[in-house]
Amino acid sequence: MSDDQRPERKRIVIKIGSSLLANEETLKLRYAFLSALMGDIKTLKDQGHDVVLMSSGAVALGLNAVNKAPGQATLLDKQAAAACGQPLLLNAYRNLASEHNLSIAQVLVTLDDLEGRKRFLNIKNTLERLFDNDIVPIVNENDTITTEELRVGDNDRLAASVAHMVQAEKFVILTSVDGLYDRDPSEPGAEFVAELKDVSKYIAAASGTSALGSGGMLTKLVAANMAQHSGCTTYLAEGVLDEPVVGAIDGSRRCTICPAIGTPATAWHGWLSNRLHMAGSLTVRQAVADAIAEGPCGVSNTDIVAVNGDFQKGDVLHVYDEQGNELARGLTSFSAQDVQVLVANPNRETAELLGYSARPEIIRPRNMAKLDKTRLSWDASAA
Summarize the confidence of residues 299-307 as an average pLDDT: 97
**Domain contains 2:** no
- pLDDT exceeds cutoff 50 at 270: yes
pLDDT in tens, 110-124: 888 888 899 999 999
Q: pLDDT of 174-216, one tens digit each?
A: 998 899 988 777 888 889 999 999 888 887 666 544 443 444 7
Residues 166 and 264 placed together within one structural domain of the fold: yes
C-alpha 374, offset from chain centre: 17
Q: Could you tell me what percent of the chain has a pLDDT over 90?
A: 66
Our measurement of the distance from residue 31's CA atom to the centroid of its chain's CA atoms, rounded to an integer in Å, reads: 27
Flag whether 203 is in a domain: yes
- The answer to whether residues 199 and 310 belong to one domain is no
CA distance 283 to 298: 13
Instruction: Identify the domain containing residue 343 by its residue range.
Output: 278-381
pLDDT attached to residue 148:
55
Residue 32 has what pLDDT?
93
Q: For residues 342 and 319, state if they share a domain.
A: yes
Smallest CA-to-CA distance from 316 within 176, 60, 116 is with: 116
- 237 pLDDT band, cuts 50/70/90, is very high
Report how many domains make up the chain: 2
Judgement on whether residues 127 and 15 belong to the same structural domain of the protein: yes
Kindly state whether residues 16 and 94 are assigned to the same domain. Answer: yes
Give the model confidence (pLDDT) of 39-59 as tens digits.
999 999 999 999 999 998 888
The predicted structure's pLDDT at residue 333: 97
Please state whether beta strands 135-141 and 50-55 pair in parallel, antiparallel, or not at all (unpaired).
Answer: parallel
Reported pTM: 0.90
Residue 149 has pLDDT above 80, yes or no: no
